[in-house]
Structures are given as structure tokens and as C-alpha cells.
Amino acid sequence: MNTQLMIEYLSELSANNNREWYHANKEAYQRANAEFEDFLRALILEIGKFDSSILHNNPKDLTFKLVRDTRFSHDKSPYKPAFRAHISSKGKLPVPVGYYLLIQPGDQSFLGGGLFADMFKDATTMIRDYISQNGGEWEKIIHAPEFEKYFTVQGTALKNVPAGYEKEHPQAEYLKYKSWYLEYPIKDEELSDGEAFLAKAADRFRIMKPFNDYLNRALTGFQMPSR
């Protein structure tokens, strides 16, 4: 797997973020994208060693398009120069939560997990309720030494504990959250050796698995809103 080819293509796209360049270099995209799918295929096998629920996935079904929706953005660049994928038991849907990979030059790459989306009110409520009732398990997971070495829980949050929950609850700070996710930053230099990066990604995802499992227990029965 040639991770350097991915970085080189994405760097070129970042410097030439226009439709003319993109279409003139379609073959370069196809080669880089093929390398990304090969990497995902290998990553799925590595994750499968500790989470067999994701082994059925086809890499092509887990990736996101480079094309950006610019309708409500000040940045009208037509493409996001990044290869992205979400690996879970149900593919790239945000729920159930899984393992997120973003490769983007400029030291913007990261490995992620948890619930990034904060627009699903039912999901937010389900997780708040679960944390309020299972706070001890939550604390055990997020304060495990190996977890704390690499991760801090992030997310969009309210200023105050929402109505219906105790203001003095031991996990009050986390009950303010509307999303709960993890990000492990990856520098460009770490991507140059594909095999080493694969091993690091699999290891970090292994460490975040109990966090994902906790959120997925909270989200049992959640239904994605119909479009």
C-alpha cells in the first residue's frame, strides 16, 4: 500500500482545488483512491482481530466523496482534499458508531471514534440517559490509563446541564454534551510508512473500542431519521 501516493495526490488537489485540474488528473485520483481502498481493506482485517462485527464491509462502501457541498459555506472550494472512511458494523452510517479515518495533508489527518454528529436529538438523549444511569462504567472507560494516554472525550456541548438531569450529577459535564467523540492526530510524516501507520491505526482503534461499545449500547434501538 502506497500511502505516499495518497498524500502526494491530495497535496496537489489542495494546491489546485478547481474542477479543471481535478478532471484533468482523474487517473491520478483513481490510482490514489485505489491505494486508499487497499489500505482500508488491510485495516478492516486488523480491526477484525478485536472487532469481528466490521469484517463484512467492502472498502468502497465506507468512503466519502471528495466533492464538497458549498451551498452554505463561505469556502467555495469544490473539493475536500482528504480521503475519509467510517468503519462500523453498518458501514459508514454515523450510528452505530465506529472507527473514523481521515487522511489530509498539512498535519490534518486523524483517527476518530464515537458520535461526531450532534443533529440527531434522539441519539443525544439516549446517550445522556445512559451516562446518567451508568456513570461508573463511563468513568472506568475514559480514565483507563491506556485510554487517557491517547484520548480525551470531545464534543459540542451546552453551557448548562439540560433539563431533566441532575445539575450535581457526577457526570454533569458529560451530560451537557450533544456529541461524544475522540480524535487522535496524525502528522504527515507518520503516513510515509504504510505498514507502520496501519499498525498504529489498528492499535489506537483497539484502545477506543470500549468507548465505542459503550455508546453503541446506549444507542441500542436508535433509528436513523428517514430523509
* Residues whose CB falls within 8 Å of the CB of residue 114, separated by 6 or more in sequence, listed in order: 97, 153, 155, 179, 180, 181, 182, 208, 211, 212, 215
| Dist CA 178 CA 165 (whole Å) | 14
Residue 15 lies in a domain: yes
SS (H, E, C) 67-95: ECCCCCCCCCCCECCCEEEEECCCCCCCC
- pTM attached to this predicted model: 0.95
Number of compact structural domains in the chain: 1
109 in any annotated domain: yes
In-domain check, residue 148: yes
227 within a domain of the structure (yes/no): no
**226 domain-assigned:** no
Q: Are 181 and 155 in contact (CB under 8 A)?
A: yes
Residue 189 domain-assigned?
Answer: yes
Tens-level pLDDT at each residue, the chain (227 residues)? 789 999 999 999 999 999 999 999 999 999 999 999 999 999 999 999 999 999 999 999 999 999 988 777 788 899 999 999 999 999 999 999 999 999 999 999 999 999 999 999 999 999 999 999 999 999 999 999 999 999 999 999 999 999 999 999 999 999 999 999 999 999 999 999 999 999 999 999 999 999 999 999 999 999 988 77
Q: What is the CATH number of the domain that holds 141?
A: 3.30.930
All three cell numbers of 55: 469484517
Q: Which residue type, as a one-letter code, is found at position 37?
A: E
Name the residue range of residue 107's domain.
Answer: 3-218
69 found inside a domain: yes
Q: How far apart are CA 227 and CA 208, in angstroms?
A: 31
Kindly state whether residue 85 falls inside one of the protein's structural domains: yes
State residue 119 phi and psi, 5-degree precision.
Answer: -95, -5
